[in-house]
Amino acid sequence: MAAPTQPLSINLATVREQWTLGEAVEACGRHGIGAVDPWRDQVAKFGLAESARAIKDHGMRVTGYCRGGMFPGATPAERQAAIDDNKRAIDEAATLGAECLVLVAGGLPKGSRDLREARKMVADGLAAILPHARASKVPLATEPLHPMYAGDRCCVNTLKQALDLCDALGDGTGVVVDAYHVWWDPDLAAQVARAGSRILAYHVCDWLVPTRDMLLDRGMMGDGVVDLPYLRNLVEKAGYRGAIEVEIFSAENWWKKPGDEVLRTCIERYRTVC
């Protein structure tokens, strides 16, 4: 398969242990990478205005802003606090010129075992922030997370679920297709096709065998078992022309390597594996 025509983007979680936001943006520029996706804690630490300036100075696209969501809460006050926080995230995304706000739904509220109720809270939370997102021209990109996170992190676990939410909510909503979270799904081809223009971002890394940690042991593209060319072909056929964004949480491997080595490897694998 030929190298991707979509541009490379670096989700800045990939080098979060090595660099500040400013250093990471500078390094991406130095390596010829033209797009990034920063996380809120990175932006908060470096400063919102400073982050926006660094991104602008390096002429970077911002392919997403990570992340809003986390809507379920045990009390109405907790749920309202999440809604308020998401509105702030929308404002930050607008300031940064992000192409979308990435949303991770959130898991079960403390003490709850009711996934159906948690899922309803997610739908309600999305509906509550959507007017502000539309007014701010920040599309809401719901990212289904792997089912192993259903309890504590994200109760939207399939692309079908995320698209059902988009169907219900309408304009200004879409999805993130992240290879790590969806590669196993028997319904993958049909749901990616269904997503069409609602694919707001495409994330890649790899699923390692064995996976030693459920959160922080993601692999570099090519080091695991995910058929990335197959998935890229699906998103291309669905009409996706956005970036290929590398997002790797790797506490024991990539986060311990020099940032420049990580970026060089991302570029090489993007060309040969993605």
Residue with Cβ nearer a copy of itself (89 or 226): 226
Minimum distance between the CB of residue 161 and a copy of itself, rounded to whole angstroms? Answer: 5
Number of residues that bind a copy of itself (CB under 8 A): 31
What is the DSSP code (8-state) at residue 87? H
Q: Whole-angstrom Cα distance, residue 156 to residue 149?
A: 9
| SS3 state of residue 215 | coil
Q: Which residues lie below 8 Å from residue 44, measured CB to CB, with a gap of 6+?
A: none
Interacting residue with a copy of itself among 183, 202, 240, 255 (CB under 8 A): 183
68 binds a copy of itself (CB under 8 A): no
Minimum distance between the CB of residue 226 and a copy of itself, rounded to whole angstroms? Answer: 7
210-239: contacts with a copy of itself (CB under 8 A): 210-211, 214, 224-227, 230
Residue with Cβ nearer a copy of itself (155 or 200): 155
Residue with Cβ nearer a copy of itself (93 or 150): 150
Burial of 246 (0-12, 13-18, 19+ CB in 10 A): buried
184-213: contacts with a copy of itself (CB under 8 A): 184-186, 207, 209-211
| SS3 state of residue 200 | strand
CB 174 within 8 A of CB 199: yes
Token pair in block for residue 23: 């250093």
158 binds a copy of itself (CB under 8 A): yes
Interacting residue with a copy of itself among 41, 57, 84, 114 (CB under 8 A): 114
17-56: contacts with a copy of itself (CB under 8 A): none
Minimum distance between the CB of residue 215 and a copy of itself, rounded to whole angstroms? Answer: 9
Residue with Cβ nearer a copy of itself (52 or 115): 115
Q: Give the strand order in the sheet containing 101-104.
A: 61-62, 35-37, 8-11, 244-246, 199-204, 173-178, 140-142, 101-104, 65-69
Of 85, 83, 90, 28, the C-alpha closest to 61 is 28
Summarize as ranges the residues that interact with a copy of itself (CB under 8 A): 108, 112-115, 119, 146-148, 150-152, 155, 157-158, 160-161, 183-186, 207, 209-211, 214, 224-227, 230
